[in-house]
Amino acid sequence: MKSVVFVVLSVFFSVSVVAQCEIHNKVQADGSMSYFLEPATFYTTKSKSLKIGIVTDKESYFIALQPIPFPSKGTGQKIKEDLIIELSNTNKYKLQHFDTRYIKHDSVMQVLYLIDKKDLKDFSVFEAVSADINMEGTEFVRNYAFKLHKKAIMQQLNCFLKEEE
């Protein structure tokens, strides 16, 4: 009986780990390839939500924010502020704004912030606690204490880092 329970639990956990690391890819307009996992919801209310995920080109790693609602393209392209994110080691990290994109036929706005290579280890070990977000023109201009999926950045980044080994 114990061995049956062990086998069932082993299969369940291995399937959930594989599902978490389902890496997708997309060819960009410039011909380069980007890799990503489905973003996790970090914040949600009746009127707004914020999804966060990791995107990479295999050289650099980015945190991608997807706010809802989001501004028009003209306003969204003006977003240039950096992201300040605090991890569970109580350190704050400044991530440089990289790009603002409208994807899926402009139905999703995605703001990319570059993770400094020297900080990759910390992002792969410590969960996200909060972020100072200033996406001018959106509903996301303040500090957010994360309650949902705090380990998502860490888990997604580890999926990519494991694949490189």
Which pLDDT tens digit goes with each residue over 26-64?
A: 998 889 999 999 999 988 889 888 999 999 999 999 999
What pLDDT digit, counting tens, does each position of 134-162 carry?
888 777 788 888 888 899 999 999 999 98
Q: What share of the chain is helix, strand, coil (3-state, %, to 5)?
A: 25, 40, 35
How many domains are contained in the chain?
A: 1
In a domain, 101, yes or no: yes
Q: Which domain holds residue 112?
A: 24-164
Question: Is residue 18, in this structure, part of any structural domain at all?
Answer: no
pTM of the model: 0.83
- Residue 39 domain-assigned (yes or no): yes
Asked if residue 1 belongs to a domain, the reply is no
Is residue 15, in this structure, part of any structural domain at all? no
The answer to whether residue 12 is domain-embedded is no
- For residue 34, give the CATH number of its domain: 2.60.40
